[in-house]
Amino acid sequence: METSEGWSVSCLDLPGCHSQGESRDEALANIREAIQLWLEVEAEEAGVKTVETLELAV
pLDDT above 70 for 51 = no
Q: How far apart are CA 50 and CA 40, in angstroms?
A: 9
Q: For strand 2-3 and strand 18-21, is the pairing parallel, antiparallel, or unpaired?
A: unpaired
- C-beta separation of 27 from 20 below 8 A: yes
Q: Which contacts of 4-10 are long-range, i.e. CB under 8 A and separated by 24 or more positions?
A: none
Paired with 2 in beta bridges are 7
pTM of the shown model: 0.76
Domain layout of the chain by residue ranges: 2-46
Q: How far apart are CA 13 and CA 50, in angstroms?
A: 21
The per-residue pLDDT for range 12-46, each reduced to its tens digit, is 999 999 999 999 999 999 999 999 999 999 988 88
